[in-house]
Amino acid sequence: MVNKINTCVFISGNGSNLKSIIINSRDYNFPINIRLVISNNKNAAGLKIAKKHSIPCKFFSSKNKKLFERNCLFELKKNNIKFLCLAGFMKVLSNNFIKSFGSKIVNIHPSLLPNYKGLNTHKRVLKNKEKYSGCTVHFVTPKLDSGKIILQKKIIIDRNETENSLQKKILRLEHILYPISIISIFR
């Protein structure tokens, strides 16, 4: 078995990407093991997914960002976490946090970065009558959705595409892209 890297996933919501990473991490050759899940939303459905898979999880409010980051750094250290995945985590991490953690942090974003950083990507993509959209896994820096791109997947936007259909289509793609991006980082 490969020596799996202790990993934490930060979430804020549904956790469908978390689920995909957990399932993939069960594979003998997958490079990481999810040891911890942290949510800044105590009602995040993703917390139930973590519990169902017997993965320790924590909720910390991020109303006070400094305190949130301090709590997270304590847990990351305590659990010997060496890799951090953001999966639908709706908060920008500070430079100080990124430096203090000191290991790789990655994120998934539902657009073809560097286009459409930030929120409401699908709405803006449709408004601009784009022909393509997709998703991107990238390293996290203090600048929102701007770190080095690891992998991207592209889809064609249909003529009758709605925000909802586009979101579903891209989310399905994310569930494939995130695990293969993690493999590519540690290959």
Which of 17, 25, 41, 62 forms a contact with ligand GRF (CB under 6 A)? 17
Q: How far apart are CA 56 and CA 72, in angstroms?
A: 13
DSSP state of 89: -
Is 115 within 8 Å of 150 (Cβ atoms)?
no
Nearest alpha carbon to residue 154 among 168, 181, 174, 139? 174
Is 100 within 8 Å of 157 (Cβ atoms)?
no
Q: Where are the alpha helices (DSSP H) in the chain?
A: 16-25, 45-52, 65-78, 95-101, 121-127, 163-186
Q: Does 171 bind ligand GRF (CB under 6 A)?
A: yes
Q: Does 169 bind ligand GRF (CB under 6 A)?
A: no
Which of 31, 39, 88, 134 forms a contact with ligand GRF (CB under 6 A)? 88
Residue with smaller CB distance to ligand GRF, 92 or 171: 171
Q: Does 155 bind ligand GRF (CB under 6 A)?
A: no
Q: Does 146 bind ligand GRF (CB under 6 A)?
A: no
Residue of minimal Cβ distance to ligand GRF? 88
Q: Does 14 bind ligand GRF (CB under 6 A)?
A: yes
HSE at residue 98, side-chain half, CA atoms within 13 A, is 18
The answer to whether 109 is a known catalytic residue is yes
Residue with smaller CB distance to ligand GRF, 15 or 31: 15
Tokens 């105590």 belong to 42
Give the pair of three-digit tokens for residue 24.
Answer: 């993939």
The active-site residue out of 109, 122, 138, 175 is: 109
Q: Does 108 bind ligand GRF (CB under 6 A)?
A: yes
Nearest alpha carbon to residue 65 among 107, 94, 103, 95? 94
Q: Does 13 bind ligand GRF (CB under 6 A)?
A: yes
Which of 174, 177, 179, 182 forms a contact with ligand GRF (CB under 6 A)? 174
Q: Which residues are catalytic?
A: 109
* Contacts with ligand GRF, residue ranges (CB under 6 A): 13-17, 46, 87-88, 108-110, 171, 174
